[in-house]
Structure 1
Amino acid sequence: MDAQRWRRARELFDELVDTPQAGWNARVAEACADDPLVRDEVLAMLRADQATGQQEIFDASLPAAVVELAGRLAGVKAADAEAGHEGRSVGPFRLVREIGRGGMGAVWLAERADGAFEQRVAVKLIRSGWDVDEVLARFRAERQILAGLQHPNIAHLVDGGITADGKPWLALEYIDGEDLRAWCDSRRLDLAARLQLFLTVCDAVAHAHQRLVVHRDLKPSNILVGNDGVVKLLDFGIAKLLDGTDAGISSTRMFTPEYAAPEQVRGELLTTAVDIHALGLLLYELLCGRRPFEADHPTPAAYERAVLDREPTRPSLALARGDDAGAAIAACRDLAPARLRRELRGDLDAIVLKALRKEPGQRYASVQAFADDVRRHLARQPVLARRGSWRYRSARFLRRHALAATLAGVAVFALCAGLGAALWQARVANVQRDSARAALAFMRSLFDNADPAHRKGDQLSARDLLDAGVRTMRTALPGEDAARGELLLTMASAYLGLEQLDAAAPLIEEVRASAEARADRAQLAAAMIQQCRLRDLGNHPDDCPPLLDHAESLLDPREPEQARLVAYSLALRVYGLQLANRYEAVVESMRRGLALLGDRREDRYLRVELASHLAFALNRLGRPAEAERVLAPWLAELRHDDDTERVLLVDTLGTLSSSLSALGRHDEAIAMQREAIEIAEKLYGRDDPTVAESYNTLARTLNGAGRIDEAVAAMEHAVELDRRNEAGGRNPELASALCNLAVLLVKQEHYADALARLDEAVELAREAEFDADLGRSLWWRAVVHLVAGRTADARADGERMADVLAPSHAAGDDAMLRGRALAFAAALIEQGPAAATAPACADAGAIAEAFMRTPQAAGADARFAAYLAMLCTQHAPPVDPAPPLAVHYARIVARIRDAWAAAR
């Protein structure tokens, strides 16, 4: 009976099993008028069920069942009700504790008690109340099976016998370990190591098959790896002997639905193919961390239907793109999700699917053949599973979809009629060919302009090349507005990369107008996204969100190219979200962006950028371990991929080093950042601004490790590199680097040197109109003034900082909170207790509470704010807060304490 007929029979049986027998024939005849085979099967099942209910065995076991049920209702497990089990003697062993429970009984950890030698074993005991003939027969069969199996990877039989009350027991080798799947994941084993362990399991199963034993219940929980790393196969409790010696045992179907083969579900004759199917399921989980049949409602019936009716998902397709759980699964295999999918695609897909075929005869002929194919894959040899796979899939399809196959024959005829349409498509292709040739001619003209022979030896800059391209574009691609728009946007993006805003603006506007006229929604959205970049670089970031909202509303994320634009739009939102302290929103947006992107190589840079933004936000939220999990797979892929753009590795190393530093793994973080510097210097040259940025990150990492002198040296080198790249005094990177150097000097208490660097940073940031760096430099300069007792200067810098940052920063942003706290501290130094007015104290309390809601609630800023709020409730001269604050805050606290004491 095939799967569809069996499901039909099963559903009809479930419908009628609890109804009166008198109505069976009429209902079955009505439902199965077209299929006598299903009708006979349903009636046979119904009669068998009725006969089972009348067997004496049921009557004999009913009292025991009632006793056990009563014990459960009273809240006492049957195992607990059996007095004396813990510490009870069984043969030469003493029971220590229960370590497992199954359908027939319990498994106990036991120790040898006869004093002959020390030994720990696992003792199996039949559960009370169910020692009926069938269960006893199964128990004796397991003992006989284990006695005949001698293999280093099968838990062997140690002893056996009968207890004083007549129950049989088995003493088995005790394995102190964890199941194979968990063992591999906890050690992040790669695919090759997992396959080697799987081959060990195959050898053990093959040994059993050679002795005519079918396990019938292979699953991860029955395969343990001990602390010594040795794999052991357990639990032959429902194993079957193929030579007929278990004929006295009833044919009751016993299996785990999630790991059952189709023939087990259908109740057919079982062969070694059952274990081959189970090994296929095990290999599937080892490779991709999921099951091939994911049921919406994980009930035994749902799993049975899935096993019978559904084809398994290919392992390489089981990990959905952008799936967070999939990323964690790939990380357990020391791979990125995309790399894992590539490794599984092909041989491993074919091997697993061959083992999981519905018909036993279509699977591997033996476990040894299965293992040999895995070995061929490891040896990079052709695997047998990929032979004949097309014929198998075709036969399965035709059997399941006979009607659809007939209709497909009709479709072939229709396809022939469609040849005329193909001719029309050829004409369209010719038009596209002409367009491509025109685009190629345009690109050739650009390279001709770059040729020194045409330039008479003059050097051609990137700006010169772009300008020449724009001039050529005025007459290029006539009538090809869409292709022309793509090229114009590419050149506009390049201009923005060079910060040539005036040159980019008209190109973007031209593309936007053309796209609107042609109702080209995707290109219009792309133009608006570039306009956002333009406005952001022009120091008008508030214009960005409306443009991005409109752009995203025009795009269909189901289209790969448009999904990429949506992801790029999400990346452009990050800076504004960070300014508003909305790091949870950053996490959500970046996860959405990663989910939208596919595995295409051209999207790699954007995917790494999104992952880096995600990791940065997680660090700010105090979740550095999660940030590491996001980036570690990328680092593994980028290091192993010789063809990758090295710039991706530089960025990933820098961001991941920050995560490791936050986790306290400072030596790893420092080594990682030095690696990033080495790669950047080889890639860009030793004087490039990118190298300066890497030194900046190294200084921050060294500072986090408490190696302040090394941090200062690294930061001074970054400042020197930024000075070399200064152009006309407008270099915000130099302003940022000077401020960072000043922060380190403040920590060394070199306040005069710090003040000099801050003065220069303030002036540079003001000229560059870079408000974020200007506000930060003003705040640190206010700190230095306050430490020196120059409260008027500190108050002036604090007020100026608030004016600069207020348009772009929320009131609850860290920077704004620090500015308000510093203003209150200046007032306390000037006025002592008189400054602690009711409004001032209310604001101090609000600042302290706001800091407690930020990810930096345990940092020096938050503790300083809490100290200032505490002064409002204290009438005695204040003491130093504990634990000690950062050095600059400690100096300010000392001045506040002196001012407070003097005023009293």
Structure 2
Amino acid sequence: MATDRDGIEAWKLADALFDQWLDLDESERDTWLAAQDPAPGVRAYLQRLIDAHARPGPLLDTPASDLSGVRLGGWTLESELGRGGMAVVYRASRSDGIARQDAALKVLTLGALGASGRERFHREAEILARLNHPNITPLIDSGTGPDGTCWLAMPLVEGQRIDAWCDSHRLDARGVVKLMLQVCDAAAFAHRSLVIHRDLKPSNVLVEADGHVRLLDFGIGQFTDASTERTQTMWRALTPGYAAPEQLRGDPPSTAIDIYGLGALLHRLLTGRTPQADERTTTTRPSVLVRQADDAYHRHYIPLKNDLDRVLLKALAEEPGRRYLSAEALADDLKRWLDGMPVLAQAPTLGYRTRKFIARHAFGVAAAALLAATLAAGIGATLWQAGEARREAANARVQAQRAILVRDFLQRVFASTEPAAGGVPDALELLDEGARRARSDLLGTDPLAAADILMLTGQARQELGQYPDAQADLEQARTLFAREAPGAYREHSDIERALGQILRERGEVEAAQRHARTAVDLAGQALAADGDPKPLLDAKVTLGSSLFASDPQAAKAVFEEVLAALPRHGLQDTELHVDVLDGLGATISVTDPDDTQRQVRIAEEQIRLSRLLDGPESGWYASTLSDQVPTFGRAGDHARAGQLAFEAVAIVDRVYVRPHSKKAAAHCQLAAHLHLNGRFSEAVEHYTVAGDINRQLELSDLHVQACFMFGGYARAAVGDYRGALDDLERSWEILGQHDYRTSPTGYAACGTWASVQLRLGDTEGAAGTLAGCPRREGETPQLQHAQAVAELQLARGESAAAARLAAEMRESRPPEAGDRYWMRPWMLSLLLAHREGRQEAFASLVAELGEHAAMEPLSHCLAAPDETRCLAFP
């Protein structure tokens, strides 16, 4: 076996060709081999491998090497499970009285290995006898056949190769790492037992149906205290793509071989490739391999960039001494990555520790990621100024000094913040301290640096739902930029965008639109100055969002324009792509409500992008899931809608420990899903969570209004009429803020409010509410309002008028399976027919209802027609 690098490369090429040869049917192998034209040295090695494969031991000298029916020890071989260059594995069984035991029995096949092969088999038996670990397949039995052929019996593992398992289950990076921790645990146990595996690869790691990992095949394993065999034996006894460099060189064995093997295995699971090194033996950063959006493993790109690159490069270091010292150390770093802690694969810098510190102790990964991103944006603003100043040498020094000042200032904030209740500071405490110090320490000496900090803290507070403080920071930053740097168009545009978003959240639609249009104008000037189109597209998305409430067609046109521009500027699969799809999907649901197929396509694309960019454990991803629930509900896929709603709430409950608008929105969306499926008690629980947050944060956009309005209806459905009035009153206030009371939504809210008052016996109050319900000229009567009028007539004893109005409503709302509100006039008509003894009318109504008569609460009204049952909220 050649030990020089050229010889090793020739063996690697030959090994790859041999794998292809093995995969072919026997009838195709000769033709394939004749068509190959490798270098002479590679062909010679390939022929040696083929010759060795063709020379079985004496026991295997049977037709087609089929051992079915052969007995070895007490075992009967039944069917072949797998075959390699060194051994063949059979399903086997033995009976001991009335008990039957199944096993995987491994039989030595390669006569070319001779005594070395038998010695290796005996060593594997000794190794397995020493290893008793839940993630290692143990030895059941071993022995030799009459002709000296070795065999081992192990438990029959019904599992899938770990790479196939990860691919078939579409595991994300966290799921892959959790599986690898089981492999690391098994390897660490083997090392503590003085055993090195030396051949860690996907085919030697199986995953059972429940996700339990089993490490197999210690066939080339070695005791760490053995010195009789060097690492390099026969090429087929190791796998080139997963073998450590010292294995290829033939160096003495050490546990570092398995550390490399673990790294190579994890590399394969995350990138789909084995590690590749160039002529300088520098391994390519794994994230680079999957950065293209069309790569099958692109879903791992962001996690790899976020520290897994570092972990893998350390495990795969060329020099054994630069790798992790043990499998436990590698596992510990993987656990640190899972927990958001700084990994130890490299010496942590202050900035790196700061980012990790915030990620662990902020409102959750999403909020912390935003804070880090905003920090980068703030310093980026400073560097932009330095870029402008490059044309003026004198200013360049000033701007560079300012960049350093901002950086050092933020580091002091992170280092000095003292939390109010002890322990560690959270994101809000860091932001409070940063804004305070900007005003007290920087404003008088360097107002432009103070503007950078205040823009940073304002944007971060905005994302954390701290709108009053955010607005104050941003407005002061805007004033400072206008005075100190009037040409900083990008910063001006970003501030206007953020202010517009805050005002939109508060329901100040016209003001939000003014800020958004200003942001677009400023971003256009920034584009003319530096040629970057992204700020302008960002500003247009903000404008589209602000237009949605008042002019959805105009909003749709803006979103379509931005979506069409993304490919021209290489901005697909970016956060901007997610934002524009979010806006477009919402507007299409209003402007083209029947185009559910396009709505579903947009929704699935949003989910894919958000999972890729934000990560599966982020508030942004939860918000994306939640936003798509109505889309799938309208398309009739209620199972998918429910899945997304529950998953979104599970995520926000983990991510946000304090009130946050995203948490409120996710709970409200799940409540609405449950509501529309008649699960009112469960819906009320989630409406309550959302309502409490919305009140604490003083949120008042139209989404919040809908949450209170439907929450009031759900509370009425379970008999909580006082709570219903509270929610409906808040809904009415928000509608007034948006000048939306004359809309169909306002009309419905007003009607529901009056119906609840009637349930409380307040007939006059309900009459006053209905009289005050504003209605546009020519507006079609809304069912909830008309129902309340009919119920008021019933309460006043005007049964004939109530019956006529109920009949009109029934005419406009026939029975349907996908809605619930249509039941209200039908139940009212049933109640009136029963009261007045009109049996034929009652029977006619039942006949018209058909199969819908079984729906609740309609079925309860039919069974016992009284006011409690027939005036229920369905």
Indicate yes or no: 2:625 matched with 1:611: yes
Shift of 1:253: 1.4
Q: 1:311 aligns with which of 268, 277, 283?
A: 283
Cα–Cα, structure 1 residues 136 and 795, in superposed 2: closer, same or farther, change >3 Å? farther
Structure 2 partner of 1:574: 585
Letter in 2 for 1:157: L
Letter in 1 for 2:64: E
TM-score (norm 1): 0.57
Structure 2 partner of 1:847: none
Q: 2:138 aligns with which of 149, 153, 156?
A: 156
In 2, Cα distance between the equivalents of 1:246 and 1:508? 73
Q: Trace 1:631-670 onto structure 2 (pairs within 5 A).
A: 635=649, 638-641=652-655, 646-658=660-672
Shift of 1:279: 1.9
Indicate yes or no: 2:148 matched with 1:170: no
Indicate yes or no: 2:607 matched with 1:586: no
Shift of 1:879: 9.1
Query: What do the CA deviations read for 1:397-426 (whole angstroms, capped 9, x no partner)?
Result: xxxxxxxxxxxxxxxxxxxxx999957365
Q: 1:354 aligns with which of 314, 318, 333?
A: 314
Cα–Cα, structure 1 residues 15 and 326, in superposed 2: closer, same or farther, change >3 Å? closer
Query: Partner of 1:311: helix, strand, or coil?
Result: coil
Say if 2:493 and 2:539, in contact at 8 Å, map to a contact too. no
Q: Trace 1:177-576 onto structure 2 (pairs within 5 A).
A: 197-207=182-192, 210=194, 213-219=196-202, 222=205, 233-239=215-221, 243=226, 251-255=234-238, 259-261=242-244, 272-282=255-265, 284=266, 291-295=269-273, 303=274, 311=283, 313-314=285-286, 345-346=306-307, 349-360=309-320, 362-364=322-324, 367=327, 370=330, 385-386=345-346, 422=390, 424=392, 427=395, 437=447, 520=528, 529=541, 532-533=544-545, 535-538=547-550, 540-553=551-564, 567-576=578-587
Query: What do the CA deviations read for 1:189-212 (whole angstroms, capped 9, x no partner)?
Result: 98997686455313332045x25x
Say if 2:548 and 2:587, in contact at 8 Å, map to a contact too. no
Say if 1:880 and 1:893, in contact at 8 Å, map to a contact too. no
Letter in 1 for 2:269: R
Indicate yes or no: 2:64 matched with 1:68: yes
Query: What do the CA deviations read for 1:446-465 (whole angstroms, capped 9, x no partner)?
Result: xxxxxxxxxxxxxx999999
Structure 1 partner of 2:718: 709
In 1, Cα distance between the equivalents of 2:217 and 2:14? 35
Letter in 2 for 1:881: E
In 2, Cα distance between the equivalents of 1:64 and 1:476? 87
Letter in 1 for 2:283: E
Say if 1:557 and 1:566, in contact at 8 Å, map to a contact too. no
Cα–Cα, structure 1 residues 581 and 114, in superposed 2: closer, same or farther, change >3 Å? same
TM-score (norm 2): 0.59
Letter in 1 for 2:584: R
Shift of 1:649: 1.6
Structure 1 partner of 2:773: 764
Query: Partner of 1:171: helix, strand, or coil?
Result: strand
Cα–Cα, structure 1 residues 489 and 139, in superposed 2: closer, same or farther, change >3 Å? same
Query: What do the CA deviations read for 1:262-310 (whole angstroms, capped 9, x no partner)?
Result: 566789887644322222244x37xxxx724425xxxxxxx58689988
In 1, Cα distance between the equivalents of 2:143 and 2:343? 47
Structure 1 partner of 2:353: none
Q: 2:854 aligns with which of 884, 895, 902?
A: 884
Shift of 1:355: 1.6
Query: What do the CA deviations read for 1:315-346 (whole angstroms, capped 9, x no partner)?
Result: 7997999999888x9xxxxxxx98x67xx944
In 2, Cα distance between the equivalents of 1:782 and 1:46? 92
Shift of 1:124: 0.4
Say if 1:122 and 1:173, in contact at 8 Å, map to a contact too. yes
Shift of 1:614: 2.0
Cα–Cα, structure 1 residues 358 and 587, in superposed 2: closer, same or farther, change >3 Å? farther
Query: Partner of 2:283: helix, strand, or coil?
Result: coil
Shift of 1:14: 9.6
Cα–Cα, structure 1 residues 793 and 351, in superposed 2: closer, same or farther, change >3 Å? closer
Structure 1 partner of 2:354: none
In 2, Cα distance between the equivalents of 1:307 and 1:629? 46
In 1, Cα distance between the equivalents of 2:481 and 2:334? 57
Query: Partner of 2:152: helix, strand, or coil?
Result: strand
Letter in 2 for 1:294: G
Say if 2:783 and 2:809, in contact at 8 Å, map to a contact too. no
Query: Partner of 2:718: helix, strand, or coil?
Result: helix
Say if 2:276 and 2:283, in contact at 8 Å, map to a contact too. no
Structure 2 partner of 1:834: none
In 1, Cα distance between the equivalents of 2:197 and 2:577? 54
Shift of 1:111: 4.8
Query: Partner of 2:89: helix, strand, or coil?
Result: strand
In 2, Cα distance between the equivalents of 1:470 and 1:371? 48
Query: Partner of 1:157: helix, strand, or coil?
Result: coil
Letter in 1 for 2:775: R
Structure 2 partner of 1:845: none
Say if 1:638 and 1:649, in contact at 8 Å, map to a contact too. yes
In 1, Cα distance between the equivalents of 2:474 and 2:329? 62
Cα–Cα, structure 1 residues 358 and 625, in superposed 2: closer, same or farther, change >3 Å? farther
Letter in 1 for 2:125: L
In 2, Cα distance between the equivalents of 1:465 and 1:244? 69
Q: 1:106 aligns with which of 64, 89, 99?
A: 89
Say if 1:217 and 1:255, in contact at 8 Å, map to a contact too. no
Query: What do the CA deviations read for 1:135-182 (whole angstroms, capped 9, x no partner)?
Result: 896466324432354232144333233568986543335567888896
Shift of 1:718: 1.9
In 1, Cα distance between the equivalents of 2:711 and 2:243? 55
Query: Partner of 2:630: helix, strand, or coil?
Result: helix
Say if 2:501 and 2:542, in contact at 8 Å, map to a contact too. yes
Q: Trace 1:590-605 onto structure 2 (pairs within 5 A).
A: 590=603, 592=605
Say if 1:105 and 1:126, in contact at 8 Å, map to a contact too. yes
Query: What do the CA deviations read for 1:724-765 (whole angstroms, capped 9, x no partner)?
Result: 66749953665444555789999xxx8999999799679736
In 2, Cα distance between the equivalents of 1:611 and 1:266? 51
Shift of 1:644: 6.8
Query: Partner of 1:161: helix, strand, or coil?
Result: strand
Letter in 1 for 2:313: L
Letter in 1 for 2:315: A
Letter in 1 for 2:346: R
Cα–Cα, structure 1 residues 472 and 670, in superposed 2: closer, same or farther, change >3 Å? same
Q: Trace 1:621-770 onto structure 2 (pairs within 5 A).
A: 621=635, 623=637, 626-627=640-641, 635=649, 638-641=652-655, 646-658=660-672, 671-684=685-698, 694=707, 696=709, 698=711, 708-710=717-719, 714-722=723-731, 727=736, 731=741, 735-738=747-750, 764=773, 766-767=775-776
Identity of aligned residues (%): 17
Cα–Cα, structure 1 residues 795 and 563, in superposed 2: closer, same or farther, change >3 Å? farther
Shift of 1:376: 9.1
Cα–Cα, structure 1 residues 199 and 94, in superposed 2: closer, same or farther, change >3 Å? same
> Bigger CA drift: 517-526 or 149-158?
517-526
Letter in 2 for 1:68: A
Letter in 1 for 2:549: L
